[in-house]
Structure 1
Amino acid sequence: IHTWLAEHTDPGAIAVDGKTLRGAKGHDGKQVHLLSAILHKEGVVVSQTLVDRKTNEITMFQSLLNSALIKKTPRRPQMPSGLVAITQL
């Protein structure tokens, strides 16, 4: 469904945020942490990536924005919002 939504919406702005999923555990028994790109207007997640415990949101930010789902949107946003930590780049 995310692919279809990405192809049929116009992302005026994209928010990026990370969340640790309460109660969810990966194969290694560790908590799951996801980084997501969300269309502001529609409230739709258009891309999501697992943040490995050996890295962080900052290092995953660019790969999230370069993901295939975001590239398929009719018009890419000028500037994503969110993640104050990204300003460290």
Structure 2
Amino acid sequence: MRANQTFIAGHGDSLGEGLTAIEAPTLMLYSENDLVFAPESVRRTAELIEADGTDVTLETLEGNRGHLDGVVSIDQASDTLRAFLQ
């Protein structure tokens, strides 16, 4: 599943309840310079998903292109992506 700023976990429930209901292992890639998905929000989202023991892998993409680092710097996470999908 790809993140989308219009998606609300829980479909009307609280965001925290929706995120803690996630049971599938989750991979989150983000950039510290992202202005669309603020890094502190990404980390907090990971914490909420992990709260009930769900496995979350959080990896930072390095770069200076903000949100676009998720596209142009994705090769940095190739090993992590490969391992996650296996």
The answer to whether TM tops 0.5 is: no
Q: Which one has more relative contact order, counting CA pairs under 8 Å at least 6 apart?
A: 1
User: Whose helix proportion is higher, 1 or 2?
Assistant: 2
Shorter chain as denominator, the TM-score bin is 0.3 to 0.5
Q: TM-score, normalised by structure 1?
A: 0.32
